[in-house]
Amino acid sequence: MSAVPKFALHTYGCQMNVRDSAVLARRLAAAGYAEAASEEEADIVIVNSCSVREKAEEKALGKLGMLCAGRRERPGLVVGLTGCMANRLGDGIFAKIPGLSFSFGPRAGARLPELVARALTGETGIWAPDPPAAPEGGPAGAGPAPEGAADAPVQSFVTILYGCDRRCSYCIVPSVRGHEESRDPRAIVEEVRAEVRRGSPDICLLGQSVMRYGRRAFAWPEDIPSPMGFTEPLPRLLEFVAREASGAKRLRFTSGHPLGVTPELVRAMREIPAVCAHLHLPMQSGSDRILADMRRGYDSARYLEAVRLLREGVPDVAITTDVIVGYPGETEEDFEATRRVMEEAGFDNAFVFKYSPRPGTPSSFLEDDVPDAEKRRRDQVLLADQDARGLRLNKAWIGRTVEVLAEGPSLRNPSRWSGRTEQNKIVAFEPAPGVRRGAFVRVLVEDAHPQTLIGRVCN
């Protein structure tokens, strides 16, 4: 083992896990550990897991099994688990993965240095659940974010609302992430500033149902005024963050919910320059019968009303979505309704998921009656629809000049660079002098694909 033990984090799941992993890295660095250049040379590997679909858990379990088995070649390797699967399985994980050093809940991150220290002495099987009355789950005591690292992401995530109280019928998240808890706006601003210093001008504020920010057991601090005259917590927060963390040139928030698309929020998106013309607004289904069974709280008409408010109020807004295919009892007719509503909503992008029953959720007691082959077919149909729609919408950008936040050489074709527009659209372009990672460049769009725009730098 090296003199200073080195750690690596392996992250699955959503942006909330990406953010939690960043905070965990800061905690370990503050405790004196060094970040390994690669997982192979790490003395401590922590898997941050997701439970949202069965496949996500299989991946994390496979990874943990491999790491623990790899101890034959790497004796003394510390292997830890956190994230949603840690909470779902509790101390049951140690029977599934013998030799696992420790596992801790997503809100128990402050204990990580203690867990690592014990594991380095050879202890295994330590379970650290979330504290019962969850304290401010922020990175207090995590140490500063590293400054201006060359490989810092240009987009960072800051959680503003922990947990979820919505309880959609199919979803494991409320049971593994706990009750909603809104963070103090000043703590949020501090974290946003730290992320900006680290090199991310694009900040995405996170909540499972982000528009519920400020509900329940929360009062907006009286000494923080709203010159723009907002009364709702999320618009007030956007205004406050834009004012106090001006280095955050782009502000986003996710995930949205149609009932949270209020006139005030639409005005915040239009009038606060840093707030991007982009909203991820998961629809899940276009069938009113299925939406009711899912307990989503809206029907397709209400959903489309939210889309209309956004399109009328926010110029050039891009709307993206999540859809589940093969929910129990989903008929061909329900599926066709989803296709129709997706077309009417005119989504810029869509993530399609095959329904996966999750233990203990209300829908898990219904028969998972859509055969897997049919789920796959519906998935393919929606993706083909989306490709055609995405191409049509992207072609409308040809001839326009857009501002792109440059990210670096594109993965597919390293001779080209890629970046994103405020609409979160990926743009590929030839590198030009003065273009560097994290810089804003003006790009003339010359061609379009279903998922990308192609352009030329015209600074």
User: What gap in Å lies between CA 115 and CA 8, rounded to an integer?
Assistant: 15
SS3 label, residue 129: coil
Stretch that binds ligand SF4, among 40-48, 67-75, 78-86, 169-177 (CB under 6 A): 169-177
Q: How far is the CB of 288 from ligand F3S (least distance, A)?
A: 26
* DSSP secondary structure, 204-254, as one string: EEEETTGGGTT-SS----TTS--TT---SHHHHHHHHHHHH-TT--EEEEE
Q: Which among 433, 392, 429, 387 is positioned nearest to 409, based on CA atoms?
A: 429
Q: Which residues bind ligand F3S (CB under 6 A)?
A: 13-14, 16-17, 50-52, 83-84, 172-173, 176-177
> What's the rounded Cα separation, in Å, for the pair 405 and 196?
14
Confirm or reject binding of residue 320 to ligand SF4 (CB under 6 A). Answer: no
Comparing CA positions, the residue from 405, 354, 350 lying closest to residue 152 is: 405
Q: Which residue is nearest to ligand F3S (CB)?
A: 13
Query: With respect to ligand F3S, which residue has the nearer C-beta, 83 or 139?
Result: 83
Using the minimum distance from each CB to ligand F3S, give the nearer residue, 8 or 171: 171
Q: Compare residues 5 and 233 and give the one whose CB is closer to ligand SAH.
A: 233
283 binds ligand SF4 (CB under 6 A): no
Binding of ligand SF4 at residue 216 (CB under 6 A)? no
Name the site residues for ligand SAH (rule: CB under 6 A).
52-53, 170-171, 173, 208-209, 255, 282, 284, 322, 324, 353, 355-356, 358
Say whether residue 171 binds ligand SF4 (CB under 6 A). yes
Of 412, 439, 317, 348, the C-alpha closest to 428 is: 412
In the chain, the N- to C-terminal Cα span, in Å, equals 50
Burial 226-259 (b: 16+ CB within 10 A, else e): eebebebbbbbbbbbbbebbeebbbbbbbbbbbe
Which option in ligand SAH, ligand SF4, ligand F3S, none does residue 89 bind, with CB closer than 5 to 8 A by kind?
none
* Strand ranges, E, within 92-144: 102-104, 126-128
Cα separation of 409 and 130, whole Å?
40
Considering the complex, state which of residue 80 and residue 207 has its C-beta at the smaller distance from ligand SAH.
Answer: 207
Contact window for ligand SF4 (CB under 6 A) among 69-77, 89-97, 111-119, 168-176? 168-176
∠ CA 309-310-316, nearest 5°, is 140
Q: Enumerate residues 95-154 that contact ligand SF4 by CB under 6 A.
A: none
Contact call for residue 306 and ligand SF4 (CB under 6 A): no
Is position 167 an interface residue for ligand SF4 (rule: CB under 6 A)? yes
12 and 60 Cβ atoms separated by less than 8 Å: yes
Omega of the bond prior to 255 within 30 degrees of 0, cis?
A: yes
Binding residues for ligand SF4 restricted to 231-270, rule: CB under 6 A: none
Nearer to ligand F3S, 84 or 325 (CB): 84
| CB atoms near residue 391 (< 10 Å) | 13
211 binds ligand SF4 (CB under 6 A): no
Residue 45 or 85: which CB sits closer to ligand SAH? 85
Contact between 161 and ligand SF4 per CB under 6 A: no
The strand order across the sheet containing 318-325 reads: 278-280, 318-325, 349-354
Q: Which is nearer to ligand SAH, 17 or 255 (CB)?
A: 255
Partners of 409 in the β-ladder: 417
Cβ-based nearer residue to ligand F3S, 51 or 103: 51
Smallest separation (angstroms) from ligand F3S to the CB of 173: 5
Q: Could you tell me if 45 and 79 are in contact, meaning their C-beta atoms sit under 8 angstroms apart?
A: yes
* Residue 13 interacts with which of ligand SF4, ligand SAH, ligand F3S, none, CB < 5 to 8 Å by class: ligand F3S
Closest CB to ligand F3S among 83 and 282? 83
**156 touches which of ligand F3S, ligand SF4, ligand SAH, none (CB within 5 to 8 A by kind)?**
none
- Check residue 324 for interaction with ligand SF4 (CB under 6 A): no
Q: Which residues bind ligand SF4 (CB under 6 A)?
A: 164, 166-168, 171, 173-174, 208-209
